[in-house]
Amino acid sequence: MNFELARFNMIEQQIRPWDVLDQAVLQLLATVKREDFVPLAYKQVAFTDMEIPLQTGSKNGLSMLAPKVEARMLQDLAIHKHEKVLEIGTGSGYMAALLAHKAQRVISLEINEAQAQTARANLQKAGIHNCEVRVADGSKVDLSVDGPFDVIVLSGSVASVPDSLKALLKPGGRLAAIVGNEPVMCATFITKAADGSNVTTQPWDTLAPRLLGFADTPKFNF
């Protein structure tokens, strides 16, 4: 398989049409080798517009987000090189690698210990040294010692963003998550204003697998 051609086609046919036009982001997608972060069984579809399961035969729900979703979130967060980033849901480590290239430091939390080990190995192979992968449930862990953060990224969907995560943002900090329930979810960006209030925008719609550990919306029985 010609990975470079597949990467080029992913950027030109999936990423750009999704209004990802930031040249720095596009260059990063061309540089970080996505195929090195997918399981061997899925390497041939590493650049396909789909979520890729991370543990073959497992029903744990772990998967990589579609490339266009990762790219759009990265662009819209506008991360600067001096910033500290928290990611919830390391998965394969691919999004963590992209974040690490943009930021000064990344702390990435993965609820599944085996997957965290895989992500660490992937990041080391990619030469990423400013990202720390921890085994933790991002919905419950106390990060007050590590925070506050300039940027928080939830690499998966949630029914709602916990107040505990919003509280970890610095003034001017941004949080990105995919919020809602199938069939309607929205990319949700929360910015902490100087007065401590939160400003929320939902500029585009998408779907993503649920992040493990986060509470779901209660279902009503009629």
Show which residues are catalytic.
Answer: 63
Q: Residue 73 CA to chain centroid, in angstroms? A: 8
Indicate the residue type of 13.
Q
Which residues fall within 8 angstroms of residue 197, CB to CB, at 6 or more apart?
A: none
Q: What does DSSP say about strands 52-53 and 63-64: parallel, antiparallel, or unpaired?
A: antiparallel
Distances (CA, A) of 173 to 146, 154, 155: 15, 14, 17
Burial 115-127 (b: 16+ CB within 10 A, else e): bbebbbebbeebe
End-to-end CA distance of the chain: 52
